[in-house]
Chain A
Amino acid sequence: MAHGPATLADGWVKYASRWLFTTNHKDIGTLYLWFSFAMFILGGSFAMIIRAELFQPGMQLIKPEFFNQMTTMHGLVMVFGAIMPAFVGLANWLIPMMIGAPDMALPRMNNLSFWILPFAFAILVATLFMEGGGPNFGWTFYAPLSTTYAPDTVNYFIFGVHIMGASSIMGSINIIATVMNMRAPGMTYMKMPMFVWTWLITAFLLVAVMPVLAGAVTMMLMDINFGTSFFDAAGGGDPVLFQHIFWFFGHPEVYIIILPAFGVVSQIIPTFSRKPLFGYSSMVYATASIAFMSFIVWAHHMFTVGMPIAGELYFMYATMLIAVPTGVKVFNWITTMYKGSLTFETPMLFSIAFVILFTFGGFTGLMLSIAAADIQYHDTYFVVAHFHYVMVAGAVFSGTAAVYYWLPKWCGKMYDETMGKVQFWIAFIGFNITFMPQHFLGLAGMPRRYADYGLQFADWNMVSSIGAFMYGAAQILFLFNVVRTITHGKPVDKPEVWEGAEGLEWTVPTPAPYHTFEKPPQVK
């Protein structure tokens, strides 16, 4: 019988060593989740600075130069620091428990892939305090703004991205190895929970595209320091090449973010509908086809770059097609609820909001795919609104739902339902007040990444900022509720926690013991 984990009572050296050297999937999952929440608060505070500056026309609080650093860091920290590690954390906690495995397949690599992340972000965030300031070229870092015209600190940024990429690749290999080799007897692929499926597909996406990102930043590094001209027309290179390479990574990246969110929602909605997931196999096929299509639509981010019309038409048609598998998923979730027995606990509220708002973001995505109209939408607040509907209401809402859903299993205590619901409504209303007006701003002509704007945009910017502060406040409540649950929550002891919950993770005791499934369960 394995000994328990060190606690604070064993002294702080032992306690710190436990977290530093841990190879336990639950510990590493916890580390990932806390790290990602810290990054979420950091990236969120950058967003608060942006919205405070944009509260009124004119430059009030910060300089345009710093504004650009804030938009860049907000994007980088949220995408690479908050959302991706949050889902890796969930994968670590849940995949072994869902497939009946004792741990991840490669536990030492698991430790490494987490512990290099804080260094990556320490390097990235440190640039804000260096001479020249942090990266100021947008999270998409288009050359030559990010090469010839970048501050010297861009080299730290490149190093940071390399480390994040290495971490992601290791995490993905681990997930693939675990899912392929460590499923309990009887757990065939088509019996795996949707969360495991979506993560398996996501992991393949990551392994395929993170090296492309690494290649892009390495070419930047060469252009900046070693006299090459990959992205410099004066030396025979091409700035547009950068965009092709970046979006070949960047478009799958948005599905890397959203697919695990699909998985979470596909676990939660059946539970609170007390009815099995509708169309399981079509869900699997839809996820796989979305993943495949994500590789062949990248240049729809570049409709104004001046591609030949044949290319433009192809990328438009291909992009429109993604609506089909995405629609299948939405219809499946709603039909799962149909003729169920619905209750609306906090995880369910966040999941339903996910379905509504993600679908709304999907509609604007479909509009954006129409190249002739995209010429008007491109790089305006319409795009900002669109991707926050799918990223925030998509990934962040589903992440929040996941935390509330599995928190009782993790710590053996129940969160405060009222506080959860209050948080939900503040977040839901705040989110919509923030981002709904941004559609209007974009259509009326306000470009994104603008430190200042004309008076005709003043009204909706003010509304948007008020919503943003509201949404920010909801996150403080989230933190408070989670911490209070861990310290003062009402103990739960039945394994299934939720009335309608299905899956192996609900068969182990609550809270989940440090080691689970040392003997594999038999899946019928």
Chain B
Amino acid sequence: MLKRAQALFLSSLGAVLALVYVGGANAESAPSQLNMPQGVTEVSQAAYDIHMIMMWICTVIGIAVFGFMFYVMYAHRKSRGAVAENFHENVLVELLWTIVPAIILIVMAIPATTALLKVYDTENADIDIKVTGYQWKWQYEYLGEDVKFMSELRTPQDEIYGREPKGEHYLREVTEPLVLPAGKKVRFLITGNDVIHSWWVPDFGVKRDAVPGLFTSAWAKTDKPGTYVGECTELCGSGHAFMPVVVEVKEQAEYDQWLADKKAAAAEYASTIGKQWTFDELMVKGEEVYNRSCAGCHAVNGEGIPGVFPALKNSVIALGPVVEHLRVVVDGIPGTAMQSFADQLSEVDIAAVIHYERNAWGNDVGDITQPIDVLNYKQAK
């Protein structure tokens, strides 16, 4: 009986190892990373160092404890003729294994405290950036620079749902990355707009919850230009896995150029806001904005998710007076998941998406909402 069990065990172990091997051979990307990244900042290095210290201490203790245990399991088994002794206490031993671990812990606490102090050293930053978590995107605002933009997932739905092959940067690509200058201390002021998110860049050692109604700060300073990818790490609804963080660190000169370009683009946008758009132009633009910013809840076909997110197809608001529709999109509906989009979308985007919602999926109001209408609505408040 036991022989059979052993044979079964060995063959299943072999099968699993073979599967692991096949899994590894199928890898589409570089070999899987196993350990925490060292990252590119003082904080990430400190986290890595204390992580390794702890891991080695645990490994040594583990080898000692389990080694002794396996020895006991081998040496004191009844089948080898072991006869049980009857002792059941030993004050000295018991005191030792209480006091020695306590001393090890006190020693561990010293580097752990030093590392934590680094995390909290947010004073004297060169640049302040406000990071706001939205369902399901990030907004970055360069304080004092008048530069503000949304950063959303760029991976198409077709790749996610397997209708197209997945690209190299699957779920690690955004419409517009956060751009930072190398060599400057950047402070992030982190908050949330709707639910709690968490902004994580492993290579910076920065993970901070984005809590609505609360500002907390974290910091990063690196000399290494490059692209660093992170994630949202607090469950925030159905798009939780689909709001990556992408940061590009540029040399100072490149960063200055980028910042100047951003400001110029904002100025140019402001000058064209009075432009009259045609019905079809708005439909094209509106579909793009809708699928990016609204379809997460209200669905691509406008039917929403029954019982959770209302349908827009044939809805009272989409078919009713445009001013109500503006109010919902611009101001949001307090106490519900419908947030204010005044800060998230430009006037052009809001006009286009309202136009689209009123004239798509069989909705046929037929009117045109122009960017200037949105601006007027905002200013009238």
Contact = CB atoms under 8 A, between A and B. Distances in A.
Given A276-B86, A340-B84, A152 B231 contact: no
Interface stretch (A81-89, A197-205, A312-320, A407-415): A312-320
B46 to A, nearest CB: 6
Contacts of A331: 65, 97
Contacts, number: 353
A313 B43 CA distance: 16
Interface string A456-468: 1111101100110
A496 B132 CA distance: 65
- A153, A440, A455 interface centre (most CB from chain B within 10 Å): A455
B307 A132 contact: yes
B1 to A, nearest CB: 4
A312 B116 contact: yes
B200 to A, nearest CB: 7
Contacts of A60: 162
Nearest to B69: A334
B160 A452 contact: yes
A42 to B, nearest CB: 22
Given A309-B116, A370-B108, A453-B171, 6 more contacts: A304-B233, A367-B58, A375-B119, A376-B44, A376-B47, A459-B32
A378 interface: yes
14 contacts: A64-B238, A145-B195, A273-B84, A305-B211, A306-B190, A320-B109, A330-B65, A378-B198, A418-B4, A429-B12, A433-B20, A447-B233, A449-B235, A451-B240
> DSSP class of A's interface residues: helix, strand, loop or mixed?
helix
Nearest to A140: B235
Given A59-B160, A328-B98, A443-B34, A304 B209 contact: yes
B305 A65 contact: yes
Given A328-B94, A334-B68, A421-B5, A375 B207 contact: yes
B241 interface: yes
Given A359-B65, A372-B46, A456-B33, A149 B72 contact: no
Given A132-B307, A145-B237, A372 B116 contact: yes
B143 interface: no
A239 B54 contact: no
Contacts of A421: 2, 5
Given A304-B208, A372-B46, A65 B97 contact: no
Given A275-B84, A279-B89, A149 B171 contact: no
A458 B36 CA distance: 17
Interface string A39-60: 0000000000000000001111
B354 interface: no
Contact of A323 (B30, B87, B105): B105
B58 A366 contact: yes
Interface in B324-364: 334-337
B76 A454 contact: no
A290 interface: no
Contact of A454 (B112, B170, B211, B308): B170
B264 interface: no
A443 B234 contact: no
Interface of A: 57-60, 63-65, 68, 130-133, 136-138, 142, 144-145, 148-149, 151-153, 232-234, 238-240, 273-282, 304-306, 309, 312-313, 316-317, 320-321, 323-324, 327-328, 330-331, 334-344, 352, 355-356, 359-360, 363-364, 366-367, 370-373, 375-376, 378-380, 418, 421-422, 425-426, 429, 433, 440, 443-460, 462-463, 466-467, 470, 500
Contact of A145 (B82, B102, B231, B236): B236
Contacts of A312: 116, 120
Given A60-B162, A131-B307, A339 B171 contact: no
A152 B238 contact: no
A444 B33 contact: yes
A280 B101 contact: no
Interface stretch (B21-29, B255-263, B268-276): B21-29
Contact of B89 (A58, A238, A278): A278
Given A280-B88, A334-B68, A376 B205 contact: yes
Interface in B90-148: 90, 93-94, 97-98, 101-102, 105, 108-109, 112-113, 115-120, 135
A322 to B, nearest CB: 10
B13 interface: yes
A448 B232 CA distance: 10
B300 to A, nearest CB: 13
Nearest to B39: A376
B32 A440 contact: yes
B34 A371 contact: no
B308 A338 contact: no
Given A148-B337, A341-B84, A449-B235, A321 B98 contact: no
B214 interface: yes
Contacts of A375: 47, 119, 205-207
B229 to A, nearest CB: 8
Contacts of A133: 307-308
Contacts of A364: 58
Contacts of A330: 65
Nearest to A340: B84
Given A282-B94, A429-B16, A234 B213 contact: yes
Contacts of A152: 307
Given A233-B213, A341-B76, A313 B113 contact: yes
